[in-house]
Structure 1
Amino acid sequence: MALNFHQLHIFYTVAEKGSFSHAAQALHMTQPAVTMQVQALEDYFGTKLFHRTTKKIELSEAGRTLMPYAKRSIDLMKETDVSMSKFTHMLEGRLHLGASMTVGEYILPRLLGPFGKEYPNISVSMKVINTRQILDEVLNHQLNFGLVEAEIDHPDVHTEAVLNDELVLIMPPDHPLAQVPVVTMNDVLEYPFVLREQGSGTRRVMEEELARAGWDPGAMKIVNELGSTGAVKSAVEAGLGISILSQSSLKHEVALGVLTVRKIEEICFSRSFYAIYLNSTLLPISAVTFVTFLRERDLSQWL
């Protein structure tokens, strides 16, 4: 029997998850199949890689020695996919991903056309939900890949910045702040706000940046919390309050003159959009190709 990457990947996932059943779930395999592949790897090396008890498994000394090599093999395979994705123009398949609200409603629709021209045989299926929901579905193996609006700090999740964005203050064109030469945070706090719901990436980035600049987000007069960027824009246009939203989501409203964009002095709400997936997951080549497209193309021509 020859050593193969598939067995190393399974071994690494079992070690990371600390359980054959959890590894099987992550790898979309049956538990007996995972156990069989680990046993085959142990037969190949002629030594036990795990100490098994009724309650848990632990790496043996041989298993601890193998771990860094297994990780390097997985990292090398991921790098290989990234390098080769730029040559896979005849690639066929279906790309399933989750996208948070702003990314899914306003960014990706402008990019799917150019991506489709370059990779005409990859079809895209996209689920649009908020950042917290995407993280939950990635962790629960309901999604294997997502694009979100805030950086994720989770030990099981790989997070990679792929797009840049900026949040800006918005208001109706007849709002008093639209006539102020320099808008300060003190000015802004005098007016009611309509914001995205807690759990959205936009809300999180806004609150974190305000706190970093020394302002308490709790001082904002929030009159409405709404579940989509479109609903927030409509509420602002109707005069219910002002808001802070992604500049990428405001193209049509600003062009039509129904919303005015301003920046707040000394506060820059710059951010990135992130690709996220489980550390133990090897993305399908269609997903790797899409992330490479986002990372390496000049997207400003379409946004």
Structure 2
Amino acid sequence: MNLHALKIFHTIAEKGGVTRAAEELRISQPAVTAQIRNLEKELGIQLLVSKGRGILLTDAGLMLASHAKRLFALERELDEVVREYKAGFSGILRIVATYLPANLLLPEWLALFKQEHPSVEVVLTTANSKEAVEGLLQYDAEVAVYGGGWEEQPGIEWEELLEDELWFIVPKNHPYAGKEITLSEMMRVPFILREEGSSTRERLFSLCRALNVNPPKVGLQFNGVNEMVRAVIAGYGAIFISSLAVRDNVERGEVGRVMVKGASLLNPIAVCIRQQETLSPAAEAFLSLVREQSKGRV
């Protein structure tokens, strides 16, 4: 069926005549009449009959007009859906994030994002560093928010948002709290570590190898950052952790920071996407927001 001709017929039915339809469509009356004749010929039915100086829809014309009305209402709805999607106001945004940004940064960022894009469905998956990269490469997510040291990964673009420090933390009454010591001394304290695959854990072991120091004794192992901090607050062990995760606890005197000679490490927070891939409008809007929110932070 010729949809252009059908739309002309729909306009005639809506406006009540050929003249008004021609004015609405900004084409000549003869062109409108020719399109309707071609449509009638194509369908093998008469759609319009003359009545005085006007026209009437036949029974077939009324039936077709009813269906055409629904069709072009759906077209308008689709146009709106596409417009909303292109503007980043609809669709699904899938994010995978490592524990630090997932717990400390994304709750605020996503709250702001949803205020501006309430119809976008957001799916956030929390994972360790290795799993986050795999989730991005396997198309489980469109954007990864990554905290920790980064080694170049084929097929992934990395954009740093902000940078904080990695701190050694002990219970507030520990003899090392507030002191400056060597890494070798620090490694005598039992450590609370994340699971294998955590970038912070790997960086601690790499630091020990670089300074020729025995790695830490693993006293406890948790999958989450908050659990590690709470264990130290309760009085056990040491952790090597992002300052973003523990700064408030240090300032409140709930835990103590240890300055370790030669062990000043920075901890980048970054967004990662697949190389040479066009992002959805929702993802583009999200990245614009997190870039803006990251300015002036640690």
Coarse TM-score class (shorter-chain normalised): 0.5 to 0.7
- The 8 Å contact of residues 183 and 264 in structure 1, kept in 2 or not, is answered as yes
Structure 2: distance between partners of 1:196 and 1:101 = 10
Which residue in 2 is equivalent to 1:75? none
Read off the aligned partner of 1:139 and give its amino acid letter: L
Residues 209 and 283 of structure 1: is their aligned pair in 2 closer, same or farther, counting only changes over 3 Å? farther
CA-to-partner distance for each residue in 1:223-282, whole Å, 9 max, x for gaps?
222211112112222333111111111144334432122332222120212222222432
Alpha-carbon shift at residue 176 of structure 1 (Å)? 0.6
- The 8 Å contact of residues 210 and 267 in structure 1, kept in 2 or not, is answered as no
CA-to-partner distance for each residue in 1:54-76, whole Å, 9 max, x for gaps?
xxxxxxxxxxxxxxxxxxxxxxx
The correspondence for 1:128, drawn from 119, 126, 130, is 126
Which residue in 1 is equivalent to 2:258? 262
**Does 2:270 align with 1:271?**
no
- The 8 Å contact of residues 178 and 259 in structure 2, kept in 1 or not, is answered as no
- The 8 Å contact of residues 157 and 274 in structure 2, kept in 1 or not, is answered as yes
Aligned residues: percent identity?
Answer: 22
Structure 1: distance between partners of 2:174 and 2:152 = 38
- The runs of 5 or more residues in structure 1 that have no matched partner are 1-87
Residues 145 and 90 of structure 1: is their aligned pair in 2 closer, same or farther, counting only changes over 3 Å? closer
Residues 220 and 299 of structure 1: is their aligned pair in 2 closer, same or farther, counting only changes over 3 Å? same
Provide the TM-score with structure 1 as the length reference.
0.61
Residues 159 and 152 of structure 1: is their aligned pair in 2 closer, same or farther, counting only changes over 3 Å? farther
Structure 2: distance between partners of 1:90 and 1:136 = 26
- The runs of 5 or more residues in structure 2 that have no matched partner are 1-85
Which residue in 2 is equivalent to 1:188? 186
Which residue in 2 is equivalent to 1:160? 159
Which residue in 2 is equivalent to 1:14? none
Alpha-carbon shift at residue 174 of structure 1 (Å)? 0.4
Which residue in 2 is equivalent to 1:232? 228
Within a 5 Å distance, the mapping from 1:74-89 to structure 2 comes to none
Equivalences, count = 212
Residues 222 and 127 of structure 1: is their aligned pair in 2 closer, same or farther, counting only changes over 3 Å? same
Residues 199 and 244 of structure 1: is their aligned pair in 2 closer, same or farther, counting only changes over 3 Å? same
Structure 2: distance between partners of 1:208 and 1:160 = 23
Which residue in 1 is equivalent to 2:150? 151
SS in 1 for 2:105: helix
Residues 143 and 274 of structure 1: is their aligned pair in 2 closer, same or farther, counting only changes over 3 Å? same
Looking at CA atoms only, which structure, 1 or 2, has the larger radius of gyration?
Answer: 2
- The 8 Å contact of residues 171 and 255 in structure 2, kept in 1 or not, is answered as yes
Q: CA RMSD in A?
A: 2.7
Alpha-carbon shift at residue 208 of structure 1 (Å)? 3.3
Alpha-carbon shift at residue 130 of structure 1 (Å)? 1.1
CA-to-partner distance for each residue in 1:30-57, whole Å, 9 max, x for gaps?
xxxxxxxxxxxxxxxxxxxxxxxxxxxx
Structure 1: distance between partners of 2:143 and 2:244 = 22
Provide the TM-score with structure 2 as the length reference.
0.62
Within a 5 Å distance, the mapping from 1:64-75 to structure 2 comes to none
